[in-house]
A and B are shown apart, each in its own frame.
Chain A
Amino acid sequence: MSDLQITGGRLIDPANGVDEVTDLFLSGGAVAGVGKKPKNFSAAQCIDAAGMLVLPGVIDLCARLQPGEAHASGAGATIAGETRAAAAGGITRLLCPPDTAPVADTPAVARMIQDRAAAGGGARVHPLGALTVGLRGERLADMALLMDAGCAGVGNAQTAVGNTLVMRRAMQYAATYNLPVFVRACDPWLQGNGVAHEGEISTRFGLPAIPEAAETAGVARDLALIETSGARAHFDLISTARAVEMIAEARERGLAVSAGVAVHQLHFNEGDIGAFDPRYKVFPPLRTENDRRALLRGLEENAIGAICSDHQPHDADAKLAPFVEAAPGISGLDTLLSMTLELAERGELRLATAVAALTSGPAAVIGMDAGHLARGAPADVCVFDPAREWTLDENAMQSSGKNSPWLGRKLRGRAAATIIGGEIAHLDGAPVTER
Chain B
Amino acid sequence: MHDAGRPADLIKNMAAQVAAQKLSKPVLIGIHSGGVWVAEQLRAGISPAPEFGTLDISFYRDDFSRVGLNPQVKASDLPPVDRRDIILVDDVLHTGRTIRAALNEIFSYGRPERICLAVLIERPGRELPIQPDVAGKSLALSANEEVKLSNDGGELSLDVVKI
Q: In the complex, are there CB atoms of A and B closer than 8 Å?
A: no
Question: Residues on A close to B: CB < 8 A?
Answer: none
